[in-house]
Amino acid sequence: MRRAVLSLPALAVALAFALPAKAQDIVVTGKSLKQTEADLRACLERKCPPDEDIRATLAHAENLFVSGDYKNSRATLKDSVGRNRKHGDAFPVPVSDLLRANGRIAEQMGEARDFQLSVLDMRDTLKKGFGENDFRTLVAQIEVGDSRAKLGFAREAERIYKEVEARALAAGQPRVASFSRLRQALLWRGQYDQNPNAFNLKNVNERLDQLIQQPLAESSDFTLAAEVIKAKVDRKAGAAGSTEALIKRFAERGGATRPILLFAEPLQRTDLQKDLPDDQPGLNTLNRLTALQARNQWADVGFWIDANGRVTDIEALRTSGDKSWLKPVLANIAKRIYAPLKKDGGTAPGFYMIERYTLTARFEEGNTGTRMRRREATPRIERIDLTPENYEAPSSKEAA
């Protein structure tokens, strides 16, 4: 069984990947694609209430996505948005979950405008339902900042994060304020990753030191996240001491009970000339990319985290299309360092992780002199965590 991945709030996503605490609002489903399709059809036939419609939609859209049918997953979500957007006043949380899922699928498919608008609509739905200072609205506004950062508007994202931090502090929401501080540090750290020689680490270190040395109430998990990020920054700069200190601390405490990522290099955007086979039609990058995207390339990558926090047994469980673009992904995963794991009865356990990687490129509008859209020239790799809730490796039947 797996966790829901399309409608999980940003705070839960951030903590699920980096921290030992369980992610919030995880829904586990073991239903087949055929069953979720039948459930949604039956729901619509009996004119079920909007929240039931959305629940059935999300289950089926996620199954379609996991099966690799991105087109129908997006169509299922968009149809449901058309039916249920108007019910945001009565069902703000379900409708916001639907809009969030719609945005995530759009992001995976390179639909940047739909991604941006869905995130804004999600935020506005929660704001109208609960007010601008409710923690759900504030976290949704951080997601708006995340979307701006992801689309290349770092300064706007920084402004949003700072505004949320101030509003959260004024509204007595220390965890949201800490989350916003963490996002600022991550934003600046991302700029440093892209250009270590040109970016000043002062802002990053100040924000991280604030989270570590002056933690707000109810924010111990963010302190840990800040320590992890600081260790990554130090390691990027050639100093591995802080990472080793974290590893030692977890070992002395008996090990982690959930995967805690201590170090990972940023995943670089794919170089078409270097990482992809030279078998695309035509000589220009646009033609190569157009052919590439027509093949709907994605892959589910599985790997074990051993007792020492090292990654082993990396394999592509399922793939669609050519696998050459996966080379930098697999190499990147192999370099990760996780916290040492808790030993149970003297036997070293392991965590089995599954991650979905999608090779895509965003659509650009207005750059051709016509109404015809085209994808950007350099593809990107999107990632979503599909890790089973029980961390067990899938059977050969499930992986096929």
Under a CB-based contact definition with an 8 Å cutoff, are residues 14 and 182 in contact? yes
What contacts 24+ positions apart, CB below 8 Å, involve 146-151? 146/10, 146/119, 146/183, 147/103, 147/115, 147/116, 147/119, 149/187, 149/190, 150/107, 151/112, 151/115, 151/116
Give SS3 for 243: helix
CA distance 309 to 343: 12
| Domain spanning 9-130, CATH class | mainly alpha
More confident residue, 64 or 395: 64
- What's the per-residue H, E or C state across 63-84? HHHHHCCHHHHHHHHHHHHHHH
More confident residue, 395 or 139: 139
Give SS3 for 21: coil
360: left (phi over 0), alpha (psi -120 to 50) or beta: beta
CA distance 196 to 189: 9
For the chain, the first-to-last Cα distance in angstroms comes to 15
Q: What is the pLDDT of residue 278?
A: 45
Under a CB-based contact definition with an 8 Å cutoff, are residues 73 and 105 in contact? yes
Compute φ and ψ for 357, nearest 5 degrees. -115, 135
CA distance 349 to 254: 12
Compute φ and ψ for 299, nearest 5 degrees. -155, 145
- pLDDT greater than 60 at residue 20: no
Compute φ and ψ for 380, nearest 5 degrees. -130, 160
Six-digit token pair at 327?
Answer: 């080379």
Q: What is the pLDDT of residue 312?
A: 94
Highest mean pLDDT among 7-21, 75-89, 298-312: 75-89
CA distance 96 to 192: 33
Q: Where in the chain is the domain with CATH 1.25.40?
A: 9-130
Average pLDDT for the chain:
83
- pLDDT greater than 90 at residue 203: no
Compute φ and ψ for 255, nearest 5 degrees. 95, 160
Scanning the structure block, which residue is given the tokens 């502090």? Answer: 169
Please report, as a single letter, which amino acid is at residue 81: V
Inter-CA distances, 34 with 64, 238, 299, 329, Å: 10, 51, 22, 31
Distance from the Cα of residue 5 to its chain's centroid: 8
Inter-CA distances, 176 with 84, 135, 219, 222, Å: 28, 7, 9, 10
CA distance 164 to 141: 7
Per-residue pLDDT band for 111 (boundaries 50, 70, 90) equals very high
Scanning the structure block, which residue is given the tokens 């390179």? Answer: 110
Distance from the Cα of residue 94 to its chain's centroid: 20
Please report, as a single letter, which amino acid is at residue 92: P
Q: What is the pLDDT of residue 126?
A: 97
Per-residue pLDDT band for 369 (boundaries 50, 70, 90) equals low
CA distance 116 to 42: 32
Highest mean pLDDT among 30-34, 65-69, 235-239: 65-69
